[in-house]
Amino acid sequence: MTANLERMRQQMNHIGGSLRPHVKTAKSANVLAHIFEDKNTAKICVSTIREAEYFSEAGYTDIMYAVAIAPNKLDAIVRLMQTGTNLTIVLDNIETAQIVAAHGKQHKALFNVFIELDVDGHRSGVTPTDPALLEIARFIDKTEGIKLAGVMTHAGDSYNCTSIQGIRVMAEQERARSVAAAESIRQAGITCPDVSVGSTPTATYLESAEGITEIRAGVFIFQDLFQAGINVCQESDIALSVLATVIGHQKSKNWVITDAGWMAMSRDRGTQAQSKDQGYGLVCGINGEILIDDLIVVSANQEHGIIAKRDGTALDLSQFPIGSKVRILPNHACSTAAQYSKYTIIENNQCIGLWPRIRGW
């Protein structure tokens, strides 16, 4: 984990970028303590109200809630702002802007908002050339209860890239289109302070941060098999694993059975569409070393994991006696970590502590 953090620090220094880490992956103040030396200058990004409350209570008060705001969450946002938290929210349509402004006026609150951009057709957001962008910006600029913080985007289509060069192209597209959107707002005479972009792939391979005020990324903290599959990291960089115990064998099928099914690993099969399908996770030894090439969790029930060779060939089951343990690297660090309430921290193959993490919305 510390090596992953250092690589991202070096990347930000290289491109002149300012990192606002997305804490939806880690969900732990202990992890953030390894990222920031000073909470007072720290900027973070969250995806749930629960995360915003938890990290605000932990002393992190510059927070972006980076999911388009739902009206029923505005009261919680107001309560957080009343504690002194600088909480910005996101929207991508005039209807939501009107609701937010009305709520701000009613409760004598000022909502700082980012307009979400769609720079790659991946998810939500308004395209940078859509007239709706300026319509939203003009409404915010002239309306009580709401203020424009800037524009933001998430280049999620970078997850579909098949090469490093492809990610670099996507990263530059994300940067250029976001900067252009901000410039069009400024040319209309409207203040647009911040340009916020980010995903772990594009943050890793962006070559210039010109025009960008902050970069958001989250899964880089732990990395996972999906990121390895698109060449963002190596399998050896993955810091998160699930410890599983062998509970049985099926000799006729060359299977090892463990107590870590999809409730332990999550149902995420994100690598299924990649050139190397990692099943429900890649199997390693107790200290994280690769035991046998292509040994994966090929299938999972709720509490049972089935380990086998990827191609189904013979496996020496004597290497996995009942009660022995293996580590399983996850497809998606966020969804696997979400199954747990704490991290067991390993350094030099020794447990050095437990770090709590929060769950819920």
Please check whether residues 161 and 286 belong to one and the same domain.
Answer: no
Residue 310 domain boundaries: 241-356
Backbone CA torsion sign across 206, 162, 125, 357: negative
Please check whether residues 29 and 177 belong to one and the same domain.
Answer: yes
Q: So what's the pLDDT on residue 139?
A: 98
Q: So what's the pLDDT on residue 308?
A: 97
Flag whether 324 is in a domain: yes
For 35: left if phi > 0, alpha if psi spans -120 to 50, otherwise beta; the answer is: alpha
Flag whether 263 is in a domain: yes
Please check whether residues 194 and 276 belong to one and the same domain.
Answer: no
Backbone CA torsion sign across 142, 145, 150, 154: negative
Q: So what's the pLDDT on residue 37?
A: 87
Per the structure, the count of domains in the chain is: 2
* Three-state DSSP string of 311-357: CCCCCCHHHCCCCCEEEEECCCHHHHHCCCCEEEEEECCEEEEEEEC
Per residue in 305-336, pLDDT (tens digit) is 999 999 999 999 999 999 999 999 999 999 99
- Residue 130 neighbours by CB distance under 10 Å: 15
Backbone CA torsion sign across 22, 241, 237, 267: negative
H helix runs in 188-261, sequence order: 200-205, 225-229
Please check whether residues 142 and 278 belong to one and the same domain.
Answer: no
Q: What is the CATH number of the domain that holds 311?
A: 2.40.37.20
Last residue of a domain, one of 166, 193, 222: 222
Please check whether residues 281 and 196 belong to one and the same domain.
Answer: no
Per residue in 217-244, pLDDT (tens digit) is 999 999 999 999 999 999 999 999 999 9
Q: So what's the pLDDT on residue 292?
A: 81
Please check whether residues 108 and 11 belong to one and the same domain.
Answer: yes
Please check whether residues 68 and 217 belong to one and the same domain.
Answer: yes
Q: So what's the pLDDT on residue 122?
A: 86
Distances (CA, A) of 279 to 222, 269, 306: 19, 6, 10
Burial of 56: CB neighbours in 10 Å, binned 0-12, 13-18, 19+: buried
Rounded CA-CA distance 234/132 in Å is 41
Question: 309: which strand partners?
Answer: 295
Please check whether residues 125 and 58 belong to one and the same domain.
Answer: yes
Q: So what's the pLDDT on residue 290?
A: 82
Please check whether residues 103 and 246 belong to one and the same domain.
Answer: no
Please check whether residues 8 and 101 belong to one and the same domain.
Answer: yes
Flag whether 236 is in a domain: no
φ and ψ at residue 46, rounded to 5 degrees: -125, 165
Q: So what's the pLDDT on residue 19?
A: 97
CA angle 103, 106, 112 (to 5 degrees): 45
Distances (CA, A) of 318 to 63, 251, 270, 299, 329: 51, 10, 31, 20, 22
Flag whether 188 is in a domain: yes
Q: So what's the pLDDT on residue 263?
A: 97
Helix (H, G, I), strand (E, B) or coil at 194: strand
Flag whether 235 is in a domain: no
Rounded CA-CA distance 146/250 in Å is 62
Tokens 């020496």, located at residue: 316
Q: So what's the pLDDT on residue 160?
A: 93
**DSSP label at 243?**
E
Flag whether 233 is in a domain: no
All residue ranges of the chain with pLDDT < 50 are: none
Please check whether residues 251 and 202 belong to one and the same domain.
Answer: no
**DSSP label at 174?**
H
Please check whether residues 205 and 138 belong to one and the same domain.
Answer: yes
Flag whether 29 is in a domain: yes
Distances (CA, A) of 62 to 12, 44, 102, 262: 19, 6, 24, 35
Q: What is the CATH number of the domain that holds 27?
A: 3.20.20.10
Rounded CA-CA distance 47/39 in Å is 19
Flag whether 228 is in a domain: no
